[in-house]
Structures are given as structure tokens and as C-alpha cells.
Amino acid sequence: MDKILVHGGRRLRGSVKISGSKNSALPILAATLLTKEPCTISRVPDLSDIHYMLTILSELGCEVERASGTVQIRAEKILTHAPYDIVRKMRASVCILGPLLGREHEATVSLPGGCVIGDRPIDLHLRGFEALGAAVKVSGGNVKVLAPHLKGARISLRSNFGSTVLGTGNVMMAAVLAEGVTVIDGAAEEPEVVDLANFLIAMGAKIEGAGTRSITIEGVKELHGAEHEVIPDRIEAGTFLAAGAISGDEVTVSRVIPAHLESVTGLLSKAGFEILSNGSQVTIRPGSKRVALKIDAVPYPGFPTDMQAQMCALMATTEGISVVSDHVFPHRFMHVAEMKRMGADIELQGGTAVIKGVSQLGGAPVMASDLRASAALVLAGLQADGITEVNRVYHIDRGYESIDEKLNELGAEIERVKA
Ligand code: EPZ
């Protein structure tokens, strides 16, 4: 397994082009199952999670062609049972259930395993499918949904942790071909849900209210092919802004949608940094004084859970006491133990990390665990004295296109060691 060596103490300066959003591209690629006609999706990031999704679609019978960031998909004749081994590797593959149900009225996938950030149930997805008339059967580690006739319904996707992002997308994709009107209450408001809705609308779906808590879908007979460019990755952009905060003189992220970053840039300016927004660019510079914060990760438009670990890395070297809680994934603190190996002073109290800022972290061998925790360890390594060795780098490659190369272009000194 590859590892990344981060030589700490280099200052970052410059501009980095942000890739298309992983969390938008994955459900949009799945949505191409809803039509027999060809679809063209552009600005698809080159990530292992995307590769897994394209492999699943090919195994289902789709013709898939990829040329750099553009993917052509044609789902003329498709199977309805995804291959177990690949689905197990990526939880997001659960989002093929909705389109398969919508188009073929049945689907079988392996139940997504839990992962380090917590139990990853899909009860809300299944409740939505049942409301549309599907029968759900769980056996042998697989979930099978069957609906000879899909009928629009009123569905609530609220949970104790807010709504469900992929669940909202899944139910939307099953409802677009159902008979009659579906109303999703307690829908996720994330930009990735809006991007998926816009693609479905381009395919001929009738959807209103995406981006709000209530989405209304009027079922249509069939959908046609469409072209779509994926929105920029707000979490990749936030990660680079956090890198600029931790160890930058002036870092600009380009090709972004600043409105999608407001909760992140708002928090960074509260933390004492200067944020400048100009068209599709956002720049971060050091301010006069760093400020310790109370941070609550909540559903959009609040501060995103996918940026929580990166902010822990910043607060670890911010003088004062910071308190970070994750209300979406309360156990998403695998990065804490690793940051403590680097000298961070962090105490976990249930779903909250109490961080006492230290002036300097020290390089150490650390273990990547999930996608965002791994990125946070690289960021911590930028500030640390000496070399930080981040192992199991495949976690990072799931969600970041060449993060080491992009950071090196900003002045970091990061080596990727092929194991
Ligand atoms: C999406 O996951 C993202 N992944 C995650 O990003 C992100 O952290 C998450 O949304 C929250 O924003 C993709 O879009 C591919 P949820 P998703 O269903 O949709 C509970 C990353 O780093 N829940 O919105 O799977 C669940 O346990 C990844 O890029 C239920 O209880 O997350 C969690 O506490 C990590 N029942 C909360 O809701 C359900 O049926 C939010 O989960 C579904 C979810």
C-alpha cells in the first residue's frame, strides 16, 4: 500500500483548480440507468470511488466510455443485481437501488457495510421505496427491492441526524418514473442533491424544490439521454482552504461555487483568516489573530461533517480551547488518536472533541482511516516539525484527485512512496 511522506514547515502559496464533486458524480452516474439513451457526464473526477461506480455500471450491462473527465454511458439492456464484491467496497453504490427500481422495478445490492465513521444504515432509503409500493427483502447480506407498480407517495426522510443525502437521491430516482406525485419531506438540502435533480430534469423528469426540505416529483413515462457537467467539489475546495489556513501565506481555490462554501469560509473567517471571494475563486490569507472555535458539524447549509476532521487539524495548532462536535456522524473522530501521536492535545468526550491548541505538532507515522481523516492528517503534517508518514493512502485517493501533486504545486514537499 502506498504511503505519503509530508515534510512539514513549507509555506503554501498559489492557486489550485478544484475537481468535479465526487458526491455529486456518484449518484448522477447511477441516474444514467434510468434511460436507454446515451448520457454524457463531464467534470467527473478521476477517483477510485468513481472507478468502482463505473465498474458496477459496466457489470450491470452499461456501455461505459471514459475520456479524461468526460464519461459516456448507455444503459440499453441492464441486469438488476450488482456484483457483491465491488458494492461491498463502496457504500455509495447503494444509490443504484433507486434508478434500478424506477426503470426495472427491481434491484438487488449487498447491504453496505459499516465503516470507520460509523454505522451506515439505509433504513430511510428502504422506507422511501416501501412508501412507493416496493417490497423490501434483506437476506444473505443482500437487500432486494421489488415493485411491480411504483405509485407516488408522501415520504419523510427525517432522522435523528438530519436527513439522508444519498437517501434523498435514491428516493428521487425511484419516484421520477412512478405513477403520480411524490413529495419528499425532510429532504437533504445539499448542493449534490440539487445537482442530481438538475440532471434528472435535463433527462425529462419533473422535479421542484430540490435544495429545500420539501421536494415534489411528478412521475413521467420515460426519461431520455442528457448531457451534464458535475458541480465543483466543495469539500475538496474546503480542504485546500484549510491547508492554506494551517500553513499558507495565500492560497486560492479556483473553478468553485463560493455559495456552496459559505459555511466553511464563514468559519475560517471566524477563526481569524481573511477570505476573499471573486467570481469562481476564493482566496484565504492569514489574519491578524487566530481564534479558537466551537464547531458543530450539521447538515447543509450548516458546517459539513466532511470538513470536521480538517478543522480539527487547524484547531490543533490554534491557541486556546476549541470544541468540535459532529451531529451527523457522532463517532467520526478516528483522526484524533493519530493527531495525538503528532503531539495534538485533544480529548474525546462522546461525540465531541475538546482541543487545546499547541504551538507546534511533530511529524510521526500515522494511519489513515477514512477519506477525510486521511486528508486532515496530511494537513496536520504540513504544520508539523519533521516528516509525517501517512499510511494506507488509498483512503485519500478515494476522494481526492492527486492531493499530493496539488499541494506540491502550492509549495508543499510531499512524496508518495509506492509500497
Ligand atoms: C453522503 O453520505 C456523503 N457521501 C458523505 O460523504 C457525507 O458525509 C454524508 O452524505 C453526510 O453529508 C456521498 O454522497 C457519496 P447520509 P450518505 O445518509 O448519504 C443517518 C465523504 O467523505 N442515516 O446523509 O451515506 C446516517 O447514519 C462521505 O465524501 C440513517 O439513519 O450519508 C448519518 O448519521 C463520507 N438512515 C446521517 O443519517 C439512513 O437510511 C447522514 O447520513 C441513512 C442515513
- Give the nearest ligand 1 atom to 94 CA: 25
- At 135, list the grid cell: 417490497
Please report which confidence band the pLDDT of residue 368 belongs to, taking 50, 70 and 90 as the band edges: confident
Pick the catalytic residue from 39, 62, 95, 115: 115
Atom 14, ligand 1: which residue's CA is nearest? 23
Q: Residue 161: which pLDDT band, with cuts at 50, 70 and 90?
A: confident
Query: What residue spans define the domains of the chain?
Result: 2-19+232-418, 22-229
Q: What's the average model confidence in pLDDT over 131-137?
A: 96
- Among residues 142, 83, 82, the alpha carbon closest in space to that of 113 is found at 142
370 confidence band (pLDDT: 50, 70, 90): confident
Task: Tell me, using a 6 A CB cutoff, whether residue 43 lines ligand 1.
Answer: no
Fold of 2-19+232-418: UDP-n-acetylglucosamine1-carboxyvinyl-transferase; Chain (3.65.10)
- Mean pLDDT over 305-326 rounds to 98
Residues 6+ apart with CB under 8 A from 112: 87, 88, 91, 93, 94, 120, 122
Average per-residue pLDDT for the chain: 95
Q: Indicate whether 129 pLDDT > 80.
A: yes
pLDDT average, residue stretch 14-40? 98
pLDDT for 114:
62
Give pLDDT tens digits for 41-54.
999 999 999 999 99
Residue 83 has pLDDT above 80, yes or no: no
DSSP class of 78: -
So what CATH class is 22-229? alpha beta
Residue 221 and residue 296: Cα distance in Å, rounded? 43
Q: What is the pLDDT of residue 89?
A: 76
> Which of 23, 87, 193, 370 best tests ligand 1's pocket when mutated (most atoms within 8 Å of CB)?
23
| Interval 95-100 mean pLDDT | 96
Q: What is the mean pLDDT of residues 334-339?
A: 96
Over residues 299-309, the pLDDT tens digits come to 999 999 999 99
DSSP per-residue letters across 205-269: -EEE-BTBS-EEEE--S-----EEEPPB-HHHHHHHHHHHHHHEEEEEEES--GGGGHHHHHHHH
Judge whether residue 275 has pLDDT over 80: yes
Residue nearest ligand 1's atom 10 by CA:
165
Gap from CA of 329 to ligand 1 centroid (Å): 8
Look at residue 113 in the predicted model and tell me its pLDDT: 65
**Amino acid of residue 367:** M
Q: What's the whole-number mean pLDDT along residues 109-121?
A: 75
pLDDT digits (tens, 9 = 90+) for 244-270: 999 989 999 999 999 999 999 999 999
Find the 165 Cα to ligand 1 centroid distance in Å.
6
Give the percent of the chain with pLDDT over 90.
Answer: 87
Indicate if the pLDDT at residue 117 is higher than 90: no
Q: Tell me the H-state helices in 17-142.
A: 22-31, 48-59, 84-89, 97-104, 123-131
204 in helix, strand or coil? coil
39 is catalytic: no
Q: What is the C-alpha to C-alpha distance for residues 257 and 34, in angstroms, rounded to an integer?
A: 28
Instruction: Determine whether the shortest distance from the Cβ of 306 to ligand 1 is under 6 A.
Output: yes
Contact 96, 109 (CB under 8 A): yes
322 lines ligand 1 (CB under 6 A): no
Decide whether 2-19+232-418 matches 22-229 in CATH topology.
yes
Determine what percent of the chain is predicted with pLDDT higher than 70.
99
Tell me the HSE value of 298 on the side-chain side, using a 13 A CA sphere.
Answer: 7
What confidence tens digit (pLDDT) does each residue in 209-229 have?
A: 999 999 999 999 999 999 999
| Alpha helix (H) residue ranges in 227-370 | 234-247, 262-270, 308-315, 334-341
Q: Is the pLDDT of residue 393 over 70?
A: yes
- Give the span between the Cα atoms of 114 and 41, in whole angstroms: 30
Amino acid at 158: R
Give yes or no for residue 365 having a pLDDT over 80.
Answer: yes
pTM over 0.85: yes
Q: Which residue puts its alpha carbon closest to atom 35 of ligand 1?
A: 306
What residue's CA is closest to ligand 1, atom 26? 120
With beta carbons less than 8 A apart as the criterion, state whether 223 and 199 touch.
Answer: no
